[in-house]
């Protein structure tokens, strides 16, 4: 029975780590827009929250459950020659207690080793940032702020970071947001994939809670069950400020808009393309929230 409990605990810890690995960085409240021209030029803008899942729910939630305290229970004493039970002597009770103490020490040592391994795994997923370190949020904010495109990065506590990001260029290569230095596994908020026929596929897999990203609901539930303590608001390069409120589950809540003068070949908006009043542009609008089961997607033909 104890072996089964331990296997379940290890499996639970590994599963939680895999959830975090798959959804390490998530959108919170945001507004995002993309301007995509027929000539292949584009401007992408994201303003709002980026949530670092490990900080939002606390790294300890990704570990196996703590070993419950088990009080010493005296076991029946048996005569090995007759196999008959008898009242335990003081010496026999002391032997049982000594064995129980040794077992408790072994269990605690095994748990400490397991926690240390899980912590190393989490740090590897986070590019060397230790989520148990009080300075982890500042380290992540500084990492974002030094990347091209971020006009501002503000840590709001509870794993939330308020960012203002803009990128412009020509789609002679694919584009993905966000890409974060030293984070090996980040689900794209938005990706632009250029095809050989001159079309561009626009996908927003993180702007969904079910179909395109099936682990997000589980991760949100984990974070909601754990809750988050109050942490201070901190801006990059500034001292911590006033206390921020407790963080909620990491659920995307915002809008995503695509404007283009290219030919919209396919999209999954509710209303379809809407004509802009000026500029010869068409607009696609998505509302993203807890009910968004399908990730926004579109296929747009550009001038080859």
Task: Convert the pLDDT of each residue in 27-51 to its tens digit.
Answer: 999 999 999 999 999 999 999 999 9
Q: Which of 16-30, 107-121, 173-187 has the highest mean pLDDT?
A: 173-187
56-64 mean pLDDT:
51
- Tell me if 48 sits within 8 A of 162, measured CB to CB: yes
Q: What is the pLDDT at residue 151?
A: 97
H-assigned helices in the chain: 2-22, 53-57, 90-125, 136-145, 216-226
Q: Which residue has the higher pLDDT, 251 or 137?
A: 137
Region 25-57+134-301: CATH code: 2.60.40
Query: Residue 94, by phi and psi: left (phi above 0), alpha (psi -120 to 50) or beta?
Result: alpha
Mean pLDDT, all residues of the chain:
79
The dihedral built from the CA positions of residue 205, 211, 214 and 217, taken in this order, carries a sign that is positive
**Two tokens, residue 62:** 């990704």
Q: What is the pLDDT at residue 282?
A: 96
**Two tokens, residue 208:** 């969904």
- Tell me if 261 sits within 8 A of 200, measured CB to CB: no
- Tell me if 302 sits within 8 A of 198, measured CB to CB: yes
Cα maximum dimension of the chain: 99
pTM over 0.75: no
Q: For the chain, first and last CA: distance in Å?
A: 65
What's the rounded Cα separation, in Å, for the pair 177 and 120?
A: 27
Q: What is the pLDDT of residues 213-234, one digit of tens each?
A: 444 444 444 434 333 333 344 4
Q: What is the pLDDT at residue 238?
A: 42
- Residue of 160, 296, 134, 143 whose CA lies nearest to 233: 160
pLDDT of 203 above 90: yes
Q: What is the pLDDT at residue 11?
A: 44
| Nearby residues of 252 by Cβ (< 8 Å), 6 or more positions away | 26, 27, 28, 30, 206, 207, 208, 209, 288, 289, 292
Q: What is the pLDDT at residue 65?
A: 52
What's the rounded Cα separation, in Å, for the pair 166 and 171?
A: 15
Q: What is the pLDDT at residue 245?
A: 39
- The count of other CB atoms within 10 Å of the CB of residue 172 is 7
| Nearby residues of 98 by Cβ (< 8 Å), 6 or more positions away | none
pLDDT category at 58 given cuts 50, 70, 90 is low
> What residue has token string 């001038």?
303
Q: What is the pLDDT at residue 70?
A: 78
Q: What is the pLDDT at residue 229?
A: 38
pLDDT of 237 above 80: no
Q: What is the pLDDT of residues 150-198, one digit of tens each?
A: 999 999 998 899 999 999 999 999 999 999 988 877 889 999 999 999 9
Q: What is the pLDDT at residue 130?
A: 81
- Residue of 264, 256, 249 whose CA lies nearest to 295: 256
């Amino acid at each position: 029975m104890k072996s089964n409990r331990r296997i379940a605990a290890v499996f639970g810890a590994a599963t939680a780590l895999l959830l975090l690995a798959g959804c390490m960085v998530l959108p919170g409240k945001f507004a995002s827009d993309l301007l995509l021209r027929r000539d292949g030029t584009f401007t992408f803008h994201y303003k709002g929250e980026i949530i670092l899942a490990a900080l939002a729910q606390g790294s300890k939630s990704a570990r196996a459950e703590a070993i419950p305290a088990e009080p010493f229970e005296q076991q029946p004493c048996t005569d090995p020659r007759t196999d008959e039970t008898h009242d335990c002597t003081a010496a026999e009770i002391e032997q049982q207690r000594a064995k129980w103490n040794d077992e408790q020490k072994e269990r605690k040592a095994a748990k400490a080793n397991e926690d240390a391994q899980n912590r190393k795994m989490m740090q590897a997923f986070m590019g060397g940032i230790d989520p148990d370190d009080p300075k982890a949020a500042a380290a992540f904010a500084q990492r974002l702020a030094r990347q091209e495109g971020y006009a501002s990065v503000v840590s709001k506590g509870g794993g939330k970071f308020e960012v203002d990001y803009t990128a412009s260029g020509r789609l002679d290569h694919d584009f993905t947001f966000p890409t974060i230095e030293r984070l090996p596994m980040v689900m794209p908020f938005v990706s632009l994939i250029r095809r050989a026929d001159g079309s561009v596929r626009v996908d927003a897999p993180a702007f969904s809670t079910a179909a395109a990203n099936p682990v997000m609901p589980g991760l949100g539930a984990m974070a909601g069950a754990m809750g988050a303590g109050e942490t201070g608001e901190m801006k990059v390069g500034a001292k911590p400020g006033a206390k921020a409120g407790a963080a909620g589950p990491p659920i995307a809540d915002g809008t995503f808009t695509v404007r283009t003068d290219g030919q919209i070949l396919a999209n999954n908006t509710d209303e379809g393309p809407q004509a802009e009043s000026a500029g010869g542009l068409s607009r696609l609008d998505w509302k993203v929230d807890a009910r968004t089961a399908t990730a926004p997607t579109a296929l747009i033909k550009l001038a080859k």
